[in-house]
Amino acid sequence: MFRERDLEEIRATREEWERTVLKKVMERWPERREEFRTMSGIPVKRVYTPEDIADKDYVRDISFPGWPPFTRGVQPTGYRGSLWTRRLITGFATPEETNKRLKFLIQEGQTGLNIIFDNPTTNCFDSDNPICEGEVGRDGVPIDTLRDMEVVMDGIDMRSVSTSLIIAGPFVMCCYIALAEKRGIPIRELRGTLQNDMVSLFYTVNSIAFSLPDAFRFSTDVIEFCRRNIPRWNPISFIGYQIREMGCTAAQEIAFTIASAVAYARELIRRGMDVDEFMPRFSFFFNAHNDFFEEICKYRAARRLWARIAREDFGAKDPMSWLCRFHVQTAGSSLTAQQPMNNVIRTTLQALAAVLGGTNSLHTNSMDECYALPSEAAARTALRTQQIIAYESGVTNTVDPLAGSYFVESLTDRLEEEARAILAKVDEMGGMIAALQAGWPQREIMRAAHEYHRKIKEGELNIIGVNMFEESEEEIPLEILRIDPSYEEHQIKMLREVKARRDNSAVRRSLDELKRAIERGENIMPACLEVVKSYATIEEMMSTMQDVVGRGEESKHAFVC
């Protein structure tokens, strides 16, 4: 990017600067540390200059927003056109309570829904299964049958809202589709995202209703169905967020997220789809952690790396296929129980990094999430955090304002290179599924997590209130959300009412049909839709599927290190 003559002059000036002023200052006032590193351990120099990005080509490596390789963002106008989607995660207690909270957030200016489901639903159990006792509605909304989705979305216009469903597999997606059909809305008009990345969920939150290959197959069925029937729906969102929450580095977050995308892309191609039929609707989900610049560079590096992989490795021709469009959530694991009000400031910085990194959608955590699900007051502050960044700070006035910073470009390069090296290793092992079966990503991530905690313990990384500026005997100034246990009883009562009212022979017929579809190796989605419409329960659907393919098993690779 620079002429040789300029570089020579820069080098000469730098050397002179080092010999004179820098040397003098360093002798009298040594720096605070021997070496400076990012949170992920990448060395950071004192000062960056054009020398550090001398091999960069502006057009090839940085270029324009909305133009390959998309380092500067996927929208040509950035946030000058439209702001990112403000989406707070919602879901707790019952479908009724969740519906109320969703309406409240819409009224407060939220622009998209982001619904999370409780542990029983995520694990495909009915609320009345004894194994779920005490967990119904605790960490999300329960969905036992189509009835619950009807209640969650009551009074919300499915045509105008974009909905993100934080769950994998066919059941909840089919509830959403079936509800639209019931309301007479053509399903091709639905907009939103299904998380659906079973590969990442397998080792992050250990979703093990099915074996990894079976879960992979069923989630790929959902993608295939959605691509053919719901053109504006993102049928998968590759989850870097959870991977980072396990304690990995920024480069690992990029690499393992993209590794999952590569696995799904290869499978869809193997099934006979053209790459440009599905790739335009791939979406991604990243974390925003504490190291401000490293996070900004992570988003820039991920966009560029994905664009290159989509184009060069997969031969995608539609520019939409090259776009790494992503949602960001600020890092839950960065919140501290100590001095919890400080979490508002942490979340603000993380959210700002996501915005400067060009996120398409954002969730900001509430300060009290180190203790419980957010209270309404804490959730409002989290939303206001985004609104202050969006409307007050001025950072949205120009696109990718940090481009061209010698440091930012250099760190972006470094993260792309590191992520590429990890991806090459995954490929050597036969792809992400084979690598996971061998336990390699799990062990690498756990090693990074241990390293992270060692650094905090030894003071290499600072966490205010934890290893610096601690306070003893703190009063916790927060109102904590309590989920009344009677919600669980209510949910079980509703489930029993649905079961008493429905036509059980229709349920049986639809489940038998699903079984046959699995045995025949067909896409299961049409059969799943019929199952949902018969008001069969989530567990009835899962057990039927398990009758054919069996269950999964916990991967214990991470524990052995």
Partner 1 sequence: MIEKRPIRVLLAKPGLDGHNRGINLVGKALRDAGMEVLYGGMRVTPEQVVEMALQEDVDVIGLSIFSGGLMTVVPKIFRALRESEARDIPVIVGGIVPPMDERELLDMGIARVFGPGSDLDDIVDCVQELARSRLERETA
Residues that bind partner 1 (CB under 8 A): 119-120, 122-123, 125, 131-135, 138-139, 204-208, 245-247, 333, 335-338, 370-372, 446, 449-450, 453, 457, 465-466, 476, 480, 482-483, 554, 556, 558-559, 561
CB of 244 to partner 1, least distance (A): 11
The one-letter amino acid code at 272 reads: G
Using CA atoms, how far apart are residues 260 and 349, in angstroms rounded to an integer?
28
CB of 344 to partner 1, least distance (A): 16
Nearer CB in complex with partner 1: 12/456: 456
Measured CA to CA, the distance from residue 245 to residue 459 in angstroms comes to 21
Tokens of 287: 């974390």
- Which tokens in the block code for residue 234? 């993102």
- Residue the block writes with tokens 């300029």: 6
What is the closest distance, in whole angstroms, from the C-beta atom of residue 104 to partner 1 in the complex? 21
- Report, in Å, the least distance between residue 135 CB and partner 1: 4
| DSSP letter string, 40-72 | T--EE-S---GGGGTT--IIIII--TTSTT-TT
Comparing CB distances to partner 1, the nearer of 257 and 360 is: 257
Q: Residue 183 or 450: which CB sits closer to partner 1?
A: 450
β-pairing, 326-330 with 361-363? parallel
The CB-of-476 to partner 1 minimum distance in angstroms stands at 6
* Pair of tokens at residue 200: 């990442």
Q: Which is nearer to partner 1, 453 or 516 (CB)?
A: 453
Q: Which one, 278 or 487, has the nearer CB to partner 1?
A: 487
Instruction: Tell me the C-alpha distance between 522 and 123, whole Å.
Output: 24
**Of the two residues 331 and 514, which places its CB atom closer to partner 1 in the complex?**
331
For residue 220, give both structure tokens. Answer: 């790929």
Compute the distance between CA of residue 303 and CA of residue 474 in angstroms, rounded to an integer: 43
Closest distance of CB 458 from partner 1, Å = 12
Nearest distance, CB of residue 437 and partner 1, angstroms: 18
**CB-wise, 49 or 207, nearer to partner 1?**
207
CB of 84 to partner 1, least distance (A): 27
CA distance 503 to 344: 50
Burial of 473 (0-12, 13-18, 19+ CB in 10 A): exposed
Residues 172, 121: contact at Cβ < 8 Å? yes
Q: What's the closest the beta carbon of residue 443 comes to partner 1, in angstroms?
A: 10
Cβ neighbours of 475 (radius 10 Å): 6
Place of tokens 């949602």: 327
CB of 212 to partner 1, least distance (A): 14
- Give CA–CA dist 86/71, Å, rounded: 22
Question: Which residue number, 245 or 409, has a Cβ lying nearer to partner 1?
Answer: 245
Token pair for residue 182? Answer: 């019931």
Nearest residue (CB) to partner 1, 104 versus 371: 371
Are 167 and 195 within 8 A, CB to CB? yes
With a CB cutoff of 8 Å and minimum separation 6, the contacts of 442 are 203, 436, 555, 557, 558
Residue from 116, 177, 117 nearest 150 by CA: 177
Contact indicator for 267, 224 with CB cutoff of 8 Å: no
Q: Between 421 and 561, name the residue whose CB sits nearer to partner 1.
A: 561
CB of 469 to partner 1, least distance (A): 13
Amino acid at residue number 239: I
Residue 131 or 424 having the CB closest to partner 1: 131
Q: The tokens 């067909």 sit on which residue?
A: 522
